[in-house]
Chain A
Amino acid sequence: MTGLITIRIAMRALVRNKTRSLLTALGIIIGIAAVIAVVAVGQGASVTMRNQISSMGNNLLMIFPGSQRTGGFHGGAGTQQTLTAEDGEAILRECPMVQAMSPMVRAGGQCIYRENDWATSVQGVNVQYQEVRSWDVASGSFFTDSDLRSAARVCVLGQTVAENLFQGEDPLNKTIRIKNMPFRVVGVMTKKGSAAWGQDQDDTIIAPWTTVRRVLQNSPFNNVNQLMMSLVSMDALPAAKDEISKILRQRHRLNQTTDDDFTITDMTEVTQMITQVSSLMTMLLTIIASISLAVGGIGIMNIMLVAVSERTREIGLRLAVGARRRDILMQFLAEAVALSGAGGIIGIGLGISVANIVAKVNHWPVMISASAILLALTFSAGVGIFFGFYPAWRAARLNPIESLRRE
């Protein structure tokens, strides 16, 4: 019997018991769909994150107040009051590897322009912020050093804020109210897209940090939430970290036994964290997929054993009219593989749809690799062969006379 005919007969046997076949294949469908979806989403997400990390700025380095006791990303940024804009100035002055520096003071605020209002975050920075983030002004201009010194009530809008507040109107030189304080819009930034953690980087207002501190936060102090700086090159990172640490410890008068009261973070840590998370995800996924494929495979084995016993007489008849044991083996093996293979194909389709939906919601690209699909197909067929072999072997071993006599 030829392979093509074997497959056709197998397909027909499956179609005959549609519901049963579908339920049996469900384990495989879910397993494969999960793998495809998570791989696609994971790859899309990690590519996006890497792009976004580089979009954060060139050779970026960040300093947060407070010490870092655990390994992860700094959680309580800005909770301690130890880091000042003067620290940043000193670093820029004394450390030649630091190319540009901006302090960062964050405030939340309701913004109003005429009848439109929009809740967003306000970033208080200095003029070098543009260089640190490699982020340009699209129209108008950035605020100036004299705005900074005088804590002028001027601001530059991110694209999202500009769109929502002005809805097509030209924002330049209009006055908006942030927390009821009037600010003049001097510029609009270019579009930056969303950040590695999914946050829309354009949903922000940029103002002189002095203004944010004095006007919005009503504070006389110069401590900041964060210092951002860009280095001359990524190679300078370890040396720069050492030197910055030395400068800050000296300025903060920390003796040798005291911990740092600041944390220096760079994007390699974020990248490493993403890699760590994604490899953990991959491992979890592999476990889930293996379990669900094994469960699906056992289901297939079970149903194939039922099919063999239901069709004992058919097997006897086929043997009587000239089928070899090998033909019977292949027939039932083909049926098991068709079952798992069809499950795999449906699973791939389902996985792609899920990945598309997830990607759309998160604005990620869908990365469905041909190798993942090929692997999924191979695996599902492999499950069919592995778990279908025993039932098929049982069928092929049947005695024709006894099988024919079975009612």
Chain B
Amino acid sequence: MLISLKEISKVYHMEEVDVPALRSVTATIDTGEFVAIMGHSGSGKSTLLNLLGCLDRPDSGTYLLDDKEVSRLSSDDLARIRNQKIGFVFQNFNLLARTSALENVELPLYYGPKISAAERQERARSLLTRVGLENRLGHHPGQLSGGQQQRVAIARALVNQPPLILADEPTGNLDSRSADDIMALFQELNREGITIVMVTHEPDIARYAKRVIQMKDGQIV
């Protein structure tokens, strides 16, 4: 079992009111799954994904990642987990501007175990080839289409060979053609054994997943 959540709660404290974003969420996700999380706006999907991605800690509950409790780890330990075990794909791509595709993909390698510049470039190049961008290595994000930018982001997510990819509305900014391409890529990665958890609004996109988790008011229904 890759992910195991037990009674996870998260409350955002605003000035006057407390906003409960997650209310006692319990769920498990196995290695090799392709899960889509759906639900209305404000139902807590992104909050859940951020917790899964170790970008945030729950207020209560336990989160086992690879059978290890991670919800109480130090921020340095969480950073290492994000670097080694998790690849993020964002709705707005989040590539470094004025920086080549190759260097964008290399970025996570700087924060991992030390490797040579040659190896770093080689790994980034092979992943860009993998997502079909072998002819766009030197292009900056501004010189790439939305679909291409998202593929650079996926290559970046894969560069440390993580077992888990987390994607928050990865097709939200794409036309349907590009969206289908990205989903095909996700399915391919999933077939190779990478676990994917993806938040989406669109049923068409959710259909690519093997399992759909529905959320409502901070709970899984």
- Asked whether A404 lies within 8 Å of B94 as measured between CB atoms, the reply is yes
Chain B contact patch, size range: 20 to 34
The listed residue (B53, B55, B90, B111) touching A318 by CB distance below 8 A is B111
Interface centre among A1, A313, A317, A323 (most CB of B within 10 A): A317
Interface string of A302-324 (1 = CB under 8 A from B): 00000000000110111111111
B208 CB, min distance to chain A CBs, angstroms: 24
Q: Is A370 an interface residue (CB 8 A)?
A: no
The listed residue (A16, A323, A400) touching B111 by CB distance below 8 A is A323
A313 to B96, CA, bound (A): 9
Q: Is B4 an interface residue (CB 8 A)?
A: no
A111 CB, min distance to chain B CBs, angstroms: 72
A327 neighbours in B (Cβ, 8 Å): 111
A320 to B79, CA, bound (A): 7
B98 neighbours in A (Cβ, 8 Å): 16
Beyond A5-B110, A318-B107, A401-B50, is A324–B96 a contact (Cβ under 8 Å)?
Answer: no
Beyond A313-B94, A401-B50, is A321–B108 a contact (Cβ under 8 Å)?
Answer: yes
Q: Is B156 an interface residue (CB 8 A)?
A: yes
B186 neighbours in A (Cβ, 8 Å): none
- Asked whether A1 lies within 8 Å of B110 as measured between CB atoms, the reply is yes
Beyond A5-B110, A401-B56, is A321–B82 a contact (Cβ under 8 Å)?
Answer: yes
Q: Is B114 an interface residue (CB 8 A)?
A: yes
Q: Is B63 an interface residue (CB 8 A)?
A: no
A355 to B119, CA, bound (A): 48
A322 neighbours in B (Cβ, 8 Å): 79-80, 82-84, 108, 111-112, 160
The listed residue (A313, A317, A324) touching B79 by CB distance below 8 A is A324
A69 to B75, CA, bound (A): 75
A321 to B110, CA, bound (A): 10
Q: Is B88 an interface residue (CB 8 A)?
A: yes
- Asked whether B55 lies within 8 Å of A401 as measured between CB atoms, the reply is yes
- Asked whether B55 lies within 8 Å of A320 as measured between CB atoms, the reply is yes
Q: How many residues of A contact B (CB 8 A)?
A: 21
Q: Is B76 an interface residue (CB 8 A)?
A: yes
A182 CB, min distance to chain B CBs, angstroms: 83
Beyond A317-B94, A404-B94, is A324–B75 a contact (Cβ under 8 Å)?
Answer: yes
Interface centre among B55, B84, B110 (most CB of A within 10 A): B110
Q: Is A325 an interface residue (CB 8 A)?
A: yes
Interface string of B99-127 (1 = CB under 8 A from A): 00000000110111010000000000000
A317 to B114, CA, bound (A): 20
A17 CB, min distance to chain B CBs, angstroms: 11
B114 neighbours in A (Cβ, 8 Å): 2
Smallest CB gap from A331: residue in B: B110
A313 to B84, CA, bound (A): 21
**Which residues of B, 170-219, contact A by the 8 Å Cβ criterion?**
none
- Asked whether B50 lies within 8 Å of A321 as measured between CB atoms, the reply is no
A351 to B160, CA, bound (A): 48
- Asked whether B90 lies within 8 Å of A321 as measured between CB atoms, the reply is no
B75 neighbours in A (Cβ, 8 Å): 324-325
A324 neighbours in B (Cβ, 8 Å): 75-76, 79-80, 111
A47 CB, min distance to chain B CBs, angstroms: 49
Binding site for A on B (CB under 8 A): 50, 53, 55-56, 75-76, 79-80, 82-84, 88, 90, 94, 96, 98, 107-108, 110-112, 114, 156, 160
- 23 inter-chain pairs at a CB distance below 8 angstroms, sorted by A residue, are A1-B110, A313-B94, A314-B96, A317-B94, A317-B96, A319-B55, A319-B79, A320-B88, A321-B82, A321-B83, A321-B156, A322-B82, A322-B160, A323-B110, A324-B75, A324-B76, A324-B79, A324-B80, A324-B111, A325-B75, A325-B79, A326-B76, A401-B50
Which 9 pairs show the lowest CB-CB distances between chains A and B?
Answer: A322-B83, A322-B111, A321-B108, A324-B79, A317-B94, A322-B82, A323-B111, A400-B55, A324-B76
Q: Known contacts A319-B55, A324-B79, A325-B79; can you find 19 more A-B pairs with CB under 8 A?
A: A1-B111, A2-B114, A5-B110, A16-B98, A314-B96, A316-B94, A317-B94, A321-B83, A321-B88, A322-B79, A322-B82, A322-B83, A322-B108, A322-B160, A323-B111, A324-B80, A326-B76, A327-B111, A401-B55
